[in-house]
Chain A
Amino acid sequence: MKPFIGAILAIFWKDLLAERRTREILGTMLVFALTVILVFVFAFDLSVEIRRKAAAGVIWVTLCFAGTISLNRSLTLERDREAINALLLAPVDRTAIFFGKALVNWVYLLITAAIIVPVYALLNNLSLFSWGGLGVILLGTLGYILTGTLLSTLTLQLRARDMLLPVLLFPVIIPLLLACVRASTILLQGGNPAELDTWLVMLVGYDLLFAAVGLLVFDRIIEE
């Protein structure tokens, strides 16, 4: 277990180190996400109440599109000079690559969320923070990244992978996105706690399902 965790952390730190130098992934994600938020805020002259109602949808759509930037770029880094082969040659369980890449992409997406949620709240004079909301963001982004990392690995060797990833990813994450938006809306506007529990269970189930799928199939899809 120790080499497995060590390999995940090694991949995580390696990607963060490269990102600290280039700032190409996180920088692009933030510029894109903030632009979308600003357009939503300034394009429509909406009442505070409607902005509160729209908050969950706007934030999750922004995170989904920003997330594709990191998913695409993060694995492209491994394709450049075929560094992915050096990872595959390492004497560790290859699913460590899946979890290492997922971890770094998750951190990028959480940083993006940590910036755009307060910005949206500030610009709309809303209070959006709650511990429940934080939990939904953690679970929702995790599920999104697990699915995205798996599918971006599947498209790794394809020429049109940048275009293919959203085409493959978005239909698969519809249940996740639905659960995220509904749970967030209940938390922001109040609602039936039992319904909230249902969506949270769905989020946990989704995350577990795609972590298990990654464990089972990643080795096979990365090799071929």
Chain B
Amino acid sequence: MILPQALPEETRRAMLNAVNLTRSFGNRQVLRGLSLTVEPAEIVSLVGINGAGKTTLLRVLANLLRPEQGMVRFGSYTPLNAPAEYRRHIGVVMHTSMLYDNLSARENLRFFSRLYQIADSDKRIRQVLEMVALNSRADELVRTFSRGMQQRLAIARALLHDPDLLLLDEPYTGLDQRSSELCEMLIRQAAADGKMVLLTTHDFNQAVAISTRVDLLHDGKISWSSPSAGLSGKSLRATFNELTVFSGSHKGHGVNT
């Protein structure tokens, strides 16, 4: 893979470390002293009921939201001591595409490549469009794209600057079978290249199938964590129901198995 810019080996091996994160919205405390580590080549699936704080956690890790307490660190960078450098290593896909409707796919990527100061951007744009199978539609306006195509382009945007950490909030939303397989392949490839992937999902089977570790976010903390090896969608669902029911939450709310 051609890198937009050479990164020091130390950065390549750096891990994401979040310690004791708290974040509230009004009176509601969403994150309560959450700690999390993601290591290179790891794919971590984050599961939790609706409103558990998965998106909030991703936004905090992406430096889109400030935690009230706690610290996030990627290698030697934190959002406080080097915010721009910290963000340079992160690629994010959220619920919405974060794209401009009235620009073409190529124009969108060209704009972001300028923000990320990517050298030889035309080559890199062709590369990522090819990765998400959108090169034949590169010059069409994003507003003419289907939901799935927009999601694929959002993934291309997240990969454009070859980030070391991918934060993916329900990346399979709106994708058909073929696009889901493509997305899964890209995630596996990223991990094989030594990148870290943290994704949220409501699909237990998918969580187990793609990840190396599954974390359950509940009551504002990682309340359970397990390597995916040896887990099945069914056993994960049973654990999920047990943990969320015993602590008073509604059983399996909003979860597909």
Contacts and interface: CB of A to CB of B under 8 A. Distances in A.
A81 B142 CA distance: 11
Given A6-B114, A82-B96, A90 B101 contact: no
B87 interface: yes
A122 interface: no
Contact of A82 (B65, B84, B98, B103): B98
A88 B64 contact: yes
B97 A81 contact: yes
Contacts of A45: none
Interface in A1-55: 3, 6-7, 9-10, 13-14, 17-18, 21-22
A82 B114 contact: no
A213 B228 CA distance: 50
Contact of A87 (B88, B97, B115): B115
Given A7-B115, A93-B84, A223-B64, A85 B100 contact: no
A158 interface: no
A224 B107 contact: no
Contact of A6 (B90, B94, B117): B117
A171 interface: no
A85 B103 contact: no
A83 interface: yes
B149 interface: no
Nearest to A3: B117
B92 A17 contact: no
Contacts of A167: none
Given A89-B64, A91-B87, A83 B99 contact: yes
A214 B97 CA distance: 28
Interface string A66-92: 000000000001001111011111111
Interface of B: 62-66, 84-85, 87-88, 90, 92, 94, 96-103, 107, 111-112, 114-117, 141, 157
13 contacts: A21-B141, A22-B102, A80-B101, A81-B96, A81-B97, A81-B98, A81-B100, A86-B98, A87-B115, A88-B63, A90-B112, A92-B84, A223-B66
